[in-house]
Structure formats: C-alpha cells, structure tokens
Amino acid sequence: MTRLIATCSLIALLYILRELDLKPLILFIMMLPLQVLMLSFLSGGSARVVQDFTSECGHFFAIGKSPTRFLDSRYRQICQTLNNVDYYATFYDTVKKIPVYSAYKFEGLRNCTRQNKWYIEPQLDDNNALPNMKCEKDVKKEGLGDHQALNGDYENSGFDRGHLAPVYQAKSQSCADATFTLTNAAPQNFSFNRGQWWVLEKEIAKNLSNKCLPKKYSVYIVTGVVPGAKVIGNNVTVPSHFWTAYCCLDNNNKCQFSSGFIGENKNVRPDEKKTVDALKTELAQLYNVDSFELFDRSTDLPAKKQSDSENENNLFQNKAPVSYCLKEKLYQMFSLLLLLLPTKLL
C-alpha cells in the first residue's frame, strides 16, 4: 500500500508537469536516479554551515531571532544536521575551537540514551563537504582539525566533552544522537559536568515540563560558554564559565517565564540569575562587549507582569510551533516516499 501511495504521488506530480507543458522536465525527472531525487527533495530541509542561521534554521530561536553574533569571520553559524534533519543551531568559534552557544527547543522528557561516538562538522575544514555531521574516521581531509576540536584533543586532558545542547533535554533519540558533535561541546571539568551541571540540566527540564508545557508555551533554550585562558590538545580553549537561559514563549510572543544560570568551570553549583537581564549583563562583561542579547527584547514582558512572573520562578519546556512540526513531518514523508520508489521510473 505504501509503495502504491508513493508511486501515485509521483505520477500526480508528473501529470501536473505534463498539463503545464513541461515535457522536457518530465523526461529529466524520469531519468534521474533515486539518490539524486532524494537530494533534490531534501536539500531544502538539510542543514549546514550557513551565512545566516536565522534564515536557515531560525525555528530554534524565539521569534526567529538569535542571541548576539560576533562579526569576525572566525565565527561560523551551524544548523546542526544528522541524516538530513536539523536539530539545533550552534554559533562556533573556529579559532578557540569551541562553541559560543547552541540554541534549541525543549519539548519534554524523552528518556533518550547516550551513544559512544562523537561527530565532527566536515564543512568547517572543507568548504566543499556535504552538509551533515560525520564520524571523524569517515572524513579524509588534510588539515582536519584546523578549525575545530577533534577527539584526540580531549584524550588525557582531564576534561569531559561537555554538551551545550544536552542529551537529557533532546526531543527524540535521533536528536540526542545529533548532540554528540564536538561543535556542540567544550572542555568541561569532569566533576562539574557529571555533578552540579548535570543536576541543573535535570532540574530545568523537570520544572519546565511542569510550568510551561502544560500551558502550551514554546520553550527556547540557549546554552553557551565563555572562553578561558587554558588550552588542551591542539589549542582547544577551556571555558572559564558555562551558562544557560530559557524563555517560555506564549501565543503573543512574550516570555512568560524566563531565567538564566551561570557557573564557573569547576565543581560548584551554578548561580541562578533571577532575570535574564542579570545574566546578559554578566555575559557582556565576560565577553568584553557593550551588550550581549539572549532573547529578542520584543519578547520581554511589561515591567509589572515581569515582576509577577519572577515571583512564580521560572523553568522551561517547549512545544514546537505547528509550522515547524508540519515541516519536519513533510521531510520524513518525502524521505519515505522516495525510498520506496524504484531506482528509476523508466
């Protein structure tokens, strides 16, 4: 039945093209191999190193607007992709070889399992590479690691590969797998990673599940690091701080609940910031910039409502907008249809 539906769908497309008198295009499509057809359907939805990730994968940011981006060409914008599906966005420093931040949505606890292999982003070292993360062993490129961390940089360093977009908050098992890329990780004190930071990730997820998801709010999270003075391996910078912030966005595009946390990269409890503004002020000082935005100012509540929101104390969870959910389902549907078609139509 599925094969029949797939075939009928493509026949319908060819009929429309015929009615539009596009016979040359029909012949061209019919002669394409399955692999090319798949690329043509999926390329628009695949993610990669991009010029502007707010246009390519802006659905990971509240109202489609990213946190502050530094203008230097050393910073790269990545729509993190695994198997032609994008799962979150990362702003990456190719000199420090660590991310500045990763932005993602929280849609509830999924009990995803951890994998043992870590991916890299081939496009950071090869502009002609395909737009999918890969295992390091599968990438044959001279100069690999010139612009990103590799697994060897962490060996015997005394530091964990600390996730920014974490496994615990992933929306699916495939999303959890996609968090295992070194462009989404930074050297983290192993006690901090496995102790206080891990506790914080769980507390945030559970509180957001209770406070924001039941109200159908969309939850946006951004997690980042501040570069420190120490390096490991091939000049991979060790962060001085890890930080995270969230926004529970209502139907009027206002953050009804929001908060931020920051902690030094050692085994200490991260400080809770009562407002995102307090975290923004501290980050501006640490990054040595005039200002550092986390969520667009248009999402701020009026002063009184913001005060009421703070009194309830906030923690996040997200329900993806219908438009994005539908888009992701369509990608999956087209992938299935194309896989079920014969290699050639004629």
Position 306 scores a pLDDT of 58
Position 254 scores a pLDDT of 97
Other C-beta atoms lying within 10 Å of the C-beta of residue 325? 13
256 near 301, Cβ under 8 Å?
yes
Residue 213 has φ and ψ, to the nearest 5°, of: -60, -45
52 pLDDT tier (thresholds 50, 70, 90):
very high
Integer Cα distance of 255 and 298 in angstroms: 9
Mean of pLDDT values over 56-65: 96
29 pLDDT tier (thresholds 50, 70, 90):
very low
Mean of pLDDT values over 48-68: 94
Position 304 scores a pLDDT of 55
81 near 131, Cβ under 8 Å?
yes
More confident site: 238 or 176: 238
More confident site: 155 or 30: 155
43 pLDDT tier (thresholds 50, 70, 90):
very low
Tell me which of 97-106, 161-170, 230-239 is least confident: 161-170
Give strand pairing partners of 17.
none
Q: What is the pTM of this model?
A: 0.75
171 pLDDT tier (thresholds 50, 70, 90):
confident
Mean of pLDDT values over 110-139: 85
Position 269 scores a pLDDT of 86
Integer Cα distance of 325 and 166 in angstroms: 21
Position 161 scores a pLDDT of 96
Q: Pick from 274, 251, 249: which is nearest to 61 by CA?
A: 249
Q: Is the dihedral of CA 154, 155, 159, 162 positive or negative?
A: positive
Q: What percent of the chain has pLDDT over 90?
A: 55
